[in-house]
Amino acid sequence: MTFKLHPLVIVNISDHHTRVKAQTHHTDDGSGSSGGSGGAATAVRVFGCVIGVQRGRTVEIFNSFELLYDPLTHSLDRSFLEKKQELYKKVFPNFYILGWYSTGSEAQESDLQIHKALMDINESPVYVLLNPVINHSQKDLPLTIYESELHIIDGIPQLIFVRSSYTIETVEAERISVDHVAHLKPSDGGSAATQLAAHLTGIHSAIKMLNSRIRIIHQYLVAMQKGRHTGLHLLFMRLPYSILLFDGILAGSFTSDQEKKIGTNLSGRRIAGVENLVAVASHQWSKSPPESNLSARGESRVKARLETETRVGWSSEVQWSEPWCTEVATMDRWLDRGSLPLVEDFPVWDGSDKGGDVEEELGSNS
């Protein structure tokens, strides 16, 4: 399942936590808030519900609201949930309850109970966990999304939490307000010069980011070429910047069609296409023109890998045919020409988000 998270949810949960923390710190008996569980003053957990839209395998979380938690029964107050749900339905009729959220450092056993209780509203709820501890050294959002899956452990089918990856999705207005509050664009008119400067600074920082990430990929690929890494980590295919890059480069020219594709968020098909492309390219490196020469086993293996390991479901629109020739050639120009290992050599990806590990690996090998 693909998860898309809106920044509003993140700010909402963080605000909920901050409020409760502020309230409990100031009241003497520590029971001032009824929204959080009655835990220790330092580790107050807050609970709530996330709402949004689910289309097929894509789950998009738009908003959230608070819920009452009863520490005695380890469950969420049901009538309260229903009342709130009604209120939110009136204003946002399209949103359904997709799951619940909580704060803490990791998922706990008692959370499973809550999760199960919600399964009658949504057969496959999601659990969003935010770690409110501020750790300046971490580079990733301390937010994890868990799905529940039925696994057979010791012969007994049990429900366990499985981490899922997610992307940040946003509408333009949301992006601007988040930018505004986070990155402090000028709030009022100012002169035309300051506005221009602000606008360009924003783009400049984004491009700088893109540049630094690309350098990392490049270094990684060069190192790999020199034989220091055995596998093409599929993880780098997941990273959105590489997709954006490939999309732009593969396009070749900026037709209006392409503008739309970059302007709106990249479609799942495109992402699947790119990942497919990388797999094909790496497999067919020395051959030209690339055709679907993969053995049946290789082909099915790549398909299976891409289906399970990437966020996007396999798109039947992806073609293993001619049009990819030119795109592989373009990509060829970008990457140094060299031989890459075959698909079969890819290490099995264990599903964890190792976005930062590429840098670590490079650091250790340099």
Partner 1 sequence: MDSSSSSALARQTWELENNIVAVDGSSGAAGADADAIYFYDEAAQVKFQQEKPWAQDPNYFRRVKISALALLKMVVHARSGGTIEVMGLMQGKTEGDTFVVMDAFALPVEGTETRVNAQADANEYMVEYSQTNKQAGRLENVVGWYHSHPGYGCWLSGIDVSTQMDNQQFQEPFLAVVVDPTRTVSAGKVEIGAFRTYPRGYKPPDEPVSEYQTIPLNKIEDFGVHCKQYYALDITYFKSSLDSHLLDLLWNKYWVNTLSSSPLLGNRDYVAGQISDLVEKLEQAENQLAHTRFGSFLLPSQRKKEPEESQLTKITRDSSKITVEQVHGLMSQVIKDILFNSVGHSSRLRASLPDLTEPEPMVES
**Subset of 68-97 contacting partner 1 (CB under 8 A):** 68, 80, 83-84, 87, 90-92
CB of 120 to partner 1, least distance (A): 21
Q: Does 170 bind partner 1 (CB under 8 A)?
A: yes
Q: Does 187 bind partner 1 (CB under 8 A)?
A: yes
211 counts as binding partner 1 under rule CB under 8 A:
yes
The angle at the Cα of 141, spanning 136 to 142, to the nearest 5 degrees, equals 80
Backbone φ, ψ for residue 97 (5° rounding): -75, 120
- The footprint of partner 1 on this chain (CB under 8 A) covers a number of residues equal to 108
Which two tokens mark 283? Answer: 């497999």
Instruction: Write out the binding residues for partner 1, residues 302-341 only, by CB under 8 A.
Output: 330, 333-334, 336
- How near is the Cβ of 346 to partner 1 at its closest, in Å? 24
**Residue from 78, 233, 241, 301 in contact with partner 1 (CB under 8 A):** 241
Q: Which of 188, 227, 296, 348 binds partner 1 (CB under 8 A)?
A: 188
Candidate residues 2, 36, 60, 285; the one interacting with partner 1 per rule CB under 8 A: 36
Distance from C-alpha of 179 to C-alpha of 199, rounded to nearest angstrom: 11
Contact by Cβ (8 Å): 165, 19? no
Residue from 2, 3, 35, 45 binding partner 1 (CB under 8 A): 35
Residues 249-278 close enough to bind partner 1 by CB under 8 A: 249, 251-254, 259-260, 262-266
117 sits near partner 1 (criterion: CB under 8 A): no
**How many CB atoms within 10 Å of residue 268?**
18
Q: Determine which residue in the list 31, 105, 110, 212 makes contact with partner 1, applying CB under 8 A.
A: 212
Q: Does 134 bind partner 1 (CB under 8 A)?
A: yes
Could you tell me whether strands 75-76 and 96-103 are parallel, antiparallel, or unpaired per DSSP bridges? unpaired
Q: Is 63 exposed, middle or buried (0-12, 13-18, 19+ CB in 10 A)?
A: middle
Pairing relationship of beta strands 143-153 and 126-130 according to DSSP bridges: antiparallel
Is the Cβ–Cβ distance between 48 and 66 less than 8 Å?
yes
Name the minimum Å distance from CB 82 to partner 1: 11
Give the SS3 label for residue 248.
Answer: helix
